[in-house]
Amino acid sequence: MVAISLPRLASRIDALARFGALPGGGVTRPCWSAPHEEARAWLLGELRRTGLETWVDPAGNVFGATGIQAFRPEIPVVLTGSHIDTVPEGGILDGALGVLAGLECLQVINETRTPHARPLAVAAWSDEEGRYGSLFGSRAFCGLLDSARIDEMMSVDGVRLVDAMAGAGFDARRASEARAPDGAVTAYVELHIEQGPRLEEAGVPIGVVEAIVGVRRSRVVFRGQADHAGTTPMDRRRDAFLAAADYALRVREHVVTRGSGVSVTNFGVVHVHPGASNIVPGSTELVHEMRDPDPGVLERLAGECAALAREVAAAHRVESELRLVSATTPALCSARVQSATERVCATLGLRCQRLYSAAGHDAQNLTRVTDAGMIFIPSQGGRSHRVDEMSDWPAIERGANALLHTMLALADA
C-alpha cells in the first residue's frame, strides 16, 4: 500500500522551521513579514522541484497541484492545505504540518503513479492566524471577504493590512479576486495537530473533526481620567485599567457559569495608556476573544458581555466602548469527508474518534463551498501556540498516511 516518507516530511518540517526561528526554539512568522515571505519562496521551490504546477493568487494563497494549472469547475479538484504563518512565539507544527504533509502526499502519489480520478492540490492559506483578519486567505478563496473592510483591517499593533501586503508585493484591494469558481473544489481535507489534550489523554491516534468553533474578537476600550499616581486620593481616581481588569474577571466568570460548558474566553492583548508607573491609567484597551461551536451561544454571550461592559464602566465612573473586530462562523464538517477518514483508519488499523475543534481553521471557510473536513493527531501535553508545541514523529506519520488515503478515497468517489 502506498505510504508517505516520514524522513522526507520530517526534513521539510525542520527546513520550514528555520524561517523566523527563535533562539530558544519555536518560531515567529507572521503573514507578509520577511521570514514569512522567505518561507513562501522556499515552499514554492519545494513544490516546483516535486514537479507540481504552482501559483499564488491575489490573496497570497500558495498552491501546488497535479492535474490542473488553475481552479476550474470543469475539473473539480480534491484539495488539502493549511498555513505557514504562525502566532508570535509559536510552534513548528501549527499550520506547517498540514501544508508539508499535503505536499508529501502529492509527491508520493506522483512517484508511485497511484491512480486517482480527480486532480489533487495543496494550499498554504495566507494569514490563517488572523494578524490582520481571521482566516484571511481562505476567506478570499471562498468568496467570504468583505472588500469594503480591507482598508480598515489592521494588526493590534496598528500595522494596516494594505501596507503589510504591499511590503510583500501584493495589492490587498485585489484580494477578493482570489475567489475560486463555484464547483472547482470537490472536497477539502486538512491535517492538523489537535492543539489540545483530548486525543493524547484518550490514547487515540486520529481525530475526525465533526465541527469547528466560531471565534468572536472585540476591541473593548475603557476611558477614565489620567492623574498623578501619588497625589490623587484613591477615592477620586477614575482608573481605566481597574475597570478593564474588573471586566475581564467578570467576563471569565460569566462565560464559565453561563456558557455552553465548552465556551471559552481570553484577553490576550491589553494596552494601558499613557503607560507610566506614576500616572493613573487614562484609558485601557482590551482585545476580548470568545469561542463556542454553537453560533447561538456565541451570539447570546456577546450581547451579555456588552451589557457587562456598560455595567462595569458605570461602577468605575469611566466610559466604555465595544467594537466587534472579527467573527468567524462555527462550521459543521462534511459527513462524506468524516466517513472517508473513518474508513481509511479502519483499513490502516488506526483507532479514531470524532471530536470538535476548539481552534479555528481554514477548513471552516471551505465548508461553505465544498465537502470539507479535518484530521487531527495528538499534541504532546496538549500544548500549542507556544514554542514547545510538538507531536510525536510516529503520530505525524500516522496522520500523514490518514491524509494520503483520505485524499485518494475522495479523489475516486
By CB under 6 A, name the binding residues for ligand GLV.
Answer: 129, 359-360
For Mn ion, the closer of residues 57 and 94 by Cβ is: 94
**Nearest residue (CB) to ligand GLV, 218 versus 283:** 218
- Is residue 259 close enough to count as binding Mn ion by CB under 5 A? no
For ligand GLV, which is the closer residue by CB, 128 or 285? 128
User: How far apart are CB 134 and ligand GLV at their closest, in Å?
Assistant: 8
CB 301 within 8 A of CB 258: yes
Among ligand GLV, Mn ion, none, the one that 399 touches (CB under a kind-dependent 5 to 8 A) is none
**Choosing among ligand GLV, Mn ion, none, which partner's interface includes residue 360 (Cβ < 5 to 8 Å by kind)?**
ligand GLV
In whole angstroms, the minimum distance from the beta carbon of 207 to Mn ion comes to: 14
Tell me how far, at minimum, the Cβ of 90 lies from Mn ion, in Å. Answer: 7
User: Which among ligand GLV, Mn ion, none contacts residue 332 (Cβ within 5 to 8 A by kind)?
Assistant: none
- In the complex, the smallest distance separating the C-beta of residue 81 from Mn ion, rounded to whole angstroms, is 11
Q: Quickly count helices (H) and strands (E) in the chain.
A: 11, 15
Cell reading at 144: 467570504
Which window, 6-14, 93-101, 226-234, 404-412, contacts Mn ion (CB under 5 A)? 93-101
26, 64, 95, 207: residue in contact with Mn ion (rule CB under 5 A): 95
In total, the chain counts a number of residues equal to 413
Long-range contacts of 238-241 (CB under 8 A, 24+ apart): 238/280, 238/316, 238/317, 238/318, 239/280, 239/281, 239/316, 239/318, 240/272, 240/273, 240/281, 240/282, 240/283, 240/284, 240/318, 241/272, 241/281, 241/284
Phi, psi of 320 (to 5 degrees): -130, 150
Among left, alpha and beta (phi > 0; psi -120 to 50; other), residue 135 is: left
Return d(Cα 96, Cα 9) in angstroms, integer: 11
- State which of residues 94, 104, 127, 194 lies at the interface with Mn ion (CB under 5 A): 94
Query: Which of the listed partners (Mn ion, ligand GLV, none) does 64 bind, with a CB threshold of 5 to 8 Å by partner kind?
Result: none
Name the phi and psi angles at 20, rounded to 5.
85, 20
User: Any bridge partners for residue 308, and if so which?
Assistant: none
In the bound state, the residue with its beta carbon closest to ligand GLV is 359
Give contact residues for Mn ion (rule: CB under 5 A).
Answer: 94-95
